[in-house]
């Protein structure tokens, strides 16, 4: 590792499109913690029902799938960076729309979740496509390491700032108006919209290409990609909980957004440095070690939460979650993209076909995870669901390690066979 000036010089040496994409994602990283954490907290505050938070999240994932499908057709006629920018902008506008709703009933909450998911669908699928086209297997550890570094730093600073802002401004008088909690959230949303505009401006500095092959809808895939879809479902199984569980647990057992921000920030600083260093020095063959480390840390966190089920248990769980997520993603996304590189050439297909099917794999996992939580909450109790649903999905997530090892080995064998032809 070099000093910061040398690291910046190394960043400047990267391809222009890769730099534009990273800068866009760095700005948008300031938005994601608000969407992922404080929207869940807002729903929890206004409904006082963890099941309604899970329902909101489920409808959000339905929205992701809907626009991922529509995005495939739009890519035939619309530039990918325009669609990516649309996802960034609409996420801010959707959040503003939800904060403007006077009461969050079942129908309105479902519509709000769907619209937020629709924006996320445009964002994530085009993000994957742009990252796939503008990186290669040798620099993806650096790309996702640097991206994870900024996402982690944002997960520290943004919750701290927003939590303190909401706590301090609520009840204060500004221009003759006493600010209530809802208005405080609306002010946060205005900040989100400004940041999304800044991210879009940065995105237009790149020159990005759409897929050459127009057909993107396939239902049969090679066995290697089917294994990747199972891996995506295992990722999705946990992913739904990572958005809702921290907000629910903290508001239930710790009780305010300021604490939520503080807890998120405690473990994030070291993790941010760790993922950047790993992304900078780790080689493709190191991904499995990083992957396993993240999985074990998350499972340990779920045990702390389930056994203690107290403010201390929540703090330990969220700390483990903050460390797990960037470590997991640092290994997962390069594995996914290398697999797409291989199977797209094997089957001579549009890469977006695999990104779309990957979203379906994630959706199946997310839906099963959230439905498990809702089932346990209604059939037993909400506390039982908050304790044990996380342990169940954390244990199932451990299966991702042998599966990812098999995927990497099979990918290596295919590459060796091609080299020997």
Instruction: Say which CATH number the domain at 74 has.
Output: 1.20.1250.20
The pairs formed by 165-173 with CB atoms below 8 angstroms and a separation of 24 or more are: 166/257, 166/258, 167/256, 167/257, 167/258
Per-residue pLDDT of the chain (421 residues; tens, 9 = 90+): 567 788 888 888 888 899 999 999 888 888 877 766 666 666 766 777 777 877 888 888 899 899 999 999 999 899 998 999 988 888 777 777 666 666 667 787 888 788 888 888 888 899 899 999 999 888 898 898 888 888 888 877 787 787 788 888 877 877 777 787 777 877 887 888 888 889 888 888 888 888 887 888 888 899 999 999 999 999 998 887 776 677 677 767 766 555 555 666 666 676 777 788 888 888 888 899 999 999 999 999 999 988 988 878 887 887 888 788 888 888 999 999 999 999 998 888 889 999 999 999 999 998 888 888 778 878 888 788 888 888 988 999 999 999 999 999 999 888 777 766 6
- pLDDT score, position 355: 93
Residue 336 included in any domain: yes
Domain that holds residue 119: 8-204+221-414
Residue 194 and residue 70: Cα distance in Å, rounded?
26
Residue 112 has what pLDDT? Answer: 79
Strand partners, 173: 178
What is the Cα–Cα distance from 148 to 325, expressed in whole angstroms?
9
In a domain, 151, yes or no: yes
DSSP 178: E
DSSP state of 177: E
Cα–Cα distances (Å) from 215 to 75, 356, 357, in that order, read: 10, 12, 13
Q: How many domains does the chain have?
A: 1
Q: What is the pLDDT of residue 357?
A: 94
pLDDT at 50: 73
Q: In Å, how far are 27, 34, 248 from 127, measured between CA atoms?
A: 14, 19, 29
Question: What does each C-alpha distance from 31 to 51, 140, 276 come to in angstroms?
Answer: 25, 23, 20
Residues 87 and 121: beta-carbon distance below 8 Å: yes
What pLDDT score was predicted for residue 261? 57
Per DSSP, the three-state class of 173 is strand
Q: Sort strands 173-174 and 177-178 into parallel, antiparallel or unpaired.
A: antiparallel
Q: Is 252 exposed, middle or buried (0-12, 13-18, 19+ CB in 10 A)?
A: middle
The CA angle 123-126-131, to the nearest 5 degrees, is 115
Residue 35 lies in a domain: yes
Interatomic CA distance for residues 234 and 145, integer angstroms: 22
280 in a domain, yes or no? Answer: yes
Residue 55 belongs to some domain of the structure: yes
């Amino acid at each position: 590792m070099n000093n910061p000036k040398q690291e910046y010089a190394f960043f400047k040496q990267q391809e222009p499109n890769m730099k534009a994409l990273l800068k866009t994602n760095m700005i948008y990283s300031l938005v994601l913690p608000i969407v992922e954490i404080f929207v869940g907290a807002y729903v929890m505050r206004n409904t006082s029902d963890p099941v309604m938070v899970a329902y909101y999240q489920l409808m959000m994932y339905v929205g992701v799938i809907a626009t991922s499908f529509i995005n495939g057709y739009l890519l035939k006629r619309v530039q990918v960076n325009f669609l990516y920018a649309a996802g960034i902008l609409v996420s801010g506008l959707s959040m503003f729309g939800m904060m403007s709703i006077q009461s969050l009933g079942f129908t309105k909450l479902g519509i709000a979740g769907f619209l937020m998911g629709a924006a996320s669908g445009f964002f994530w699928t085009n993000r994957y496509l742009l990252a796939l086209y503008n990186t290669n297997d040798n620099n993806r550890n650096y790309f996702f390491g640097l991206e994870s570094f900024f996402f982690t730093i944002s997960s520290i600073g943004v919750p701290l700032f927003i939590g303190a802002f909401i706590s301090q401004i609520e009840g204060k008088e500004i221009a003759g108006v006493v600010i209530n909690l809802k208005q405080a959230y609306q002010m946060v949303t205005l900040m989100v919209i400004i940041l999304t505009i800044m991210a879009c401006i940065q995105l237009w500095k790149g020159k990005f290409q759409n897929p050459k092959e127009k057909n993107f809808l396939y239902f049969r895939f090679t066995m290697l990609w089917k294994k990747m879809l199972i891996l995506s479902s295992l990722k999705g199984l946990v992913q739904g909980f990572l958005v809702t569980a921290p907000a629910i647990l903290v508001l239930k057992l710790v009780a305010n957004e300021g604490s939520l921000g503080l807890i998120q920030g405690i473990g994030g600083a070291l993790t941010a440095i760790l993922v950047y260093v790993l992304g900078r020095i780790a080689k493709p063959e190191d991904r499995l070690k990083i992957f396993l480390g993240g999985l074990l840390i998350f499972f340990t966190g779920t045990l702390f939460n389930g056994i203690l089920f107290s403010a201390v248990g929540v703090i330990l769980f969220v700390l483990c979650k903050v460390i797990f997520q960037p470590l997991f993603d640092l290994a997962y996304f390069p594995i996914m993209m290398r697999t797409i590189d291989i199977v797209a050439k094997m089957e001579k297909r549009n890469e977006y076909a695999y990104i779309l099917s990957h979203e379906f794999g994630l959706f199946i996992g997310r839906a099963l995870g959230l439905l498990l939580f809702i089932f346990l909450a209604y059939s037993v109790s909400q506390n039982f669901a908050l304790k044990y649903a996380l342990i169940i999905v954390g244990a199932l997530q451990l299966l991702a390690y042998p599966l990812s090892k098999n995927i990497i080995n099979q990918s290596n064998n295919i590459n060796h066979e091609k080299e020997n032809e």
